């Protein structure tokens, strides 16, 4: 990508999108296009069509999505499938119509079957039933991957899907119910510390395992992929042969390479926040998938290296939480 290339970051105010802007700016890209939700509703076909026809971006990073944790996915399934299908259909199709050179479509590790062998390789896609709590979201994202694949096959586009593991970091959503586990627990532990409460209740049994990646590492990995030389980028696009014996979707996993239990995570967050009380578990709340550690060797073998440990990432995120949210609580 040329430093002056016109790059559209969809979802630039989100957890990944905001980190993408930082990463691209830091690497010298100076022609970034953004639109807030109020300026451009990506579920509106006509608005997206007009935006692409006017702006003609050369590269697209599709980080706009309806996202949330286990409770939000389970409670608003219609919104998760409808909004995600609409956003990605409009952006991917208009990217094709307007000759976008490369597009990166972001999803999530929940696209993989619930009971996958671990660590999860890209080719395990569509090999088994999905986890029920986030199936509508996962199916929308799988449709997006298939759309990238189909357009590459029929139109010769260069559309790649990147599937991050569970993400966290500054700029996250700290809502008590709709958020993911890290921002939710940061808030719970912080409030318990401030109120001198002796117990924090963590959802589920504490035994599920999760792999976590800091949002800046995710953004740097995305920019790394977009900057690959043509031959390496083409390899990431997998196989365009629909009759190929090996199943190779245009898919790259982006993870940290290790996972921990929710119990261990809660203890770590308690330490970062400086909470002295007890931790208990509410097993009436869903656990979700028991384990979803991804095999990220594809991107690691290309030379990408993550920079942030879980400890340093959690500390940065807690500082972000305090700076932005303490006043409002």
Minimum CB separation of residue 269 from ligand GFB in Å reads 10
Q: Does residue 288 touch ligand GFB according to CB under 6 A?
A: yes
Closest CA to 86 of 105, 71, 66, 67: 66
Minimum CB separation of residue 154 from ligand GFB in Å reads 29
Stretch (H or E) spanning 210: strand 209-214
Closest CA to 101 of 217, 195, 237: 237
* Residue owning tokens 């500390």: 315
Minimum CB separation of residue 239 from ligand GFB in Å reads 26
The answer to whether the annotation marks 56 as part of a ligand binding site is no
Q: Measured from the CB atom, is 181 or 272 closer to ligand GFB?
A: 181
CA distances in angstroms from 324 to 58, 193, 321, listed in the order given: 34, 17, 5
Q: How many CB atoms lie within 10 A of CB 16?
A: 27
The answer to whether the annotation marks 149 as part of a ligand binding site is no
Q: Which residues contact 156 (CB under 8 A, 6 or more apart)?
A: none
* Active-site amino acid positions: 137
Minimum CB separation of residue 140 from ligand GFB in Å reads 10
- Kindly tell me which residue out of 87, 116, 162, 202 binds ligand GFB, with binding defined by CB under 6 A: 202
Question: Cis (ω within 30 of 0) for the bond into 119?
Answer: yes
Are residues 43 and 18 in contact, defined by beta-carbon separation less than 8 angstroms? no
Q: Does residue 262 touch ligand GFB according to CB under 6 A?
A: yes
Q: Does residue 23 touch ligand GFB according to CB under 6 A?
A: no
Q: Does residue 203 touch ligand GFB according to CB under 6 A?
A: yes
d(CA 297, CA 254): 9
Q: Does residue 151 touch ligand GFB according to CB under 6 A?
A: no
Contacts with ligand GFB, residue ranges (CB under 6 A):
69-71, 73, 108, 110, 133-134, 137, 166, 179-181, 184-185, 202-204, 208, 210, 262, 285-288
Q: Which residues fall in the annotated binding site for substrate? A: 188, 203, 210, 287
Q: Which residues fall in the annotated binding site for NADP(+)? A: 11-17, 106-109, 141, 164-167, 180
């Amino acid at each position: 990508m040329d430093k002056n290339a016109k790059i559209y970051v969809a979802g630039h105010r989100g957890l990944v999108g905001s980190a993408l802007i930082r990463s691209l700016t830091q690497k010298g890209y100076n022609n970034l296009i953004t639109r807030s939700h109020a300026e451009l509703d990506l579920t509106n076909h006509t608005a997206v069509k007009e935006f692409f026809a006017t702006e003609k971006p050369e590269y697209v990073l599709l980080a706009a999505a309806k996202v949330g944790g286990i409770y939000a996915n389970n409670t608003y399934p219609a919104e998760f499938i409808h909004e995600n299908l609409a956003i990605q259909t409009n952006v991917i199709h208009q990217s094709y119509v307007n000759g976008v050179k490369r597009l990166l479509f972001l999803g999530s590790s929940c696209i993989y079957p619930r009971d996958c062998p671990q660590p999860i390789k890209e080719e395990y896609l569509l090999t088994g039933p999905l986890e029920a709590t986030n199936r509508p979201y996962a199916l929308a994202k799988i449709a997006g991957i298939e759309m990238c694949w189909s357009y590459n096959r029929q139109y010769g586009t260069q559309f790649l899907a990147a599937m991050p593991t569970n993400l966290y970091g500054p700029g996250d959503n700290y809502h008590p119910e709709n958020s993911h586990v890290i921002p939710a627990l940061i808030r719970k532990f912080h409030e318990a510390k401030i109120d001198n409460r002796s117990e924090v209740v963590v959802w589920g049994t504490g035994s599920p395992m999760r792999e976590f990646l800091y949002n800046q590492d995710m953004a740097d990995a995305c920019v790394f992929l977009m900057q690959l030389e043509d031959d390496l980028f083409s390899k990431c696009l997998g196989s365009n042969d629909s009759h190929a014996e090996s199943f190779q979707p245009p898919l790259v996993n982006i993870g940290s390479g290790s996972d921990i239990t929710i119990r261990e995570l809660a203890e770590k967050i308690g330490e970062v926040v400086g909470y002295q009380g007890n931790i208990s578990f509410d097993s009436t709340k869903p656990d979700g998938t028991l384990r979803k550690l991804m095999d990220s060797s594809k991107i690691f073998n290309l030379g990408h290296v993550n920079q942030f440990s879980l400890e340093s990432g959690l500390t940065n995120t807690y500082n972000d939480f305090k700076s932005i949210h303490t006043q409002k609580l």
